[in-house]
């Protein structure tokens, strides 16, 4: 029987493409006993830990079961929406001036 648990940690930006940023995240995860299993790509990593590490979860400064890191999805998607609206406005303005 496998005495480990696994989780996938994702980021909206290519956070795991930077070794320094990935190390910072892994150091935070290590507080809860999580170790890197595999870097899936620049947006996802897989970590594991012994199930016995759950006993120390109350001492962690992070959520030991967090699955997202980096920029908040609402901020990221909201920023993308604002940029898209600005581009559309500029296209419409340019088209109106050329008529």
Convert the pLDDT of each residue in 41-72 to its tens digit: 999 999 999 999 999 999 999 999 999 998 77
pLDDT reported for residue 77:
78
Does residue 53 form part of some domain? yes
31: left (phi over 0), alpha (psi -120 to 50) or beta: alpha
The range of the structural domain enclosing residue 45 comes to 4-70
Q: How far apart are the first and last CA of the chain?
A: 72
Is 97 a member of any domain?
no
In this predicted structure, the answer to whether residue 86 has a pLDDT above a threshold of 90 is yes
Note whether residue 96 is domain-resident: no
**Does position 87 have pLDDT exceeding 70, yes or no?**
yes
Q: What letter would DSSP give residue 60?
A: -
Beta partners for residue 39, in sequence order: 45
Tokens 């296209």 belong to which residue? 91
Structure tokens at 47: 């970590």
Residue percentage of the chain with pLDDT more than 90: 73
Residue 75 resides in a domain:
no
Give me the number of domains the chain comprises.
Answer: 1
Please report whether residue 8 resides in a domain. yes
Residue that has been written with the tokens 């079961």 in this structure: 65
């Amino acid at each position: 029987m496998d005495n480990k648990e696994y989780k996938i940690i994702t980021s909206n930006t290519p956070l795991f493409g930077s070794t320094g940023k990935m190390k910072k995240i892994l150091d935070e995860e290590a507080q809860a006993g999580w170790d890197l299993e595999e870097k899936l790509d620049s947006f996802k990593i897989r970590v594991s830990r012994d199930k016995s590490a759950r006993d120390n979860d109350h001492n962690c400064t992070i959520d030991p079961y967090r699955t997202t890191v980096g920029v908040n999805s609402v901020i990221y998607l909201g920023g993308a929406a604002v940029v898209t609206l600005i581009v559309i406005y500029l296209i419409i303005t340019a088209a109106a001036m050329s008529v």
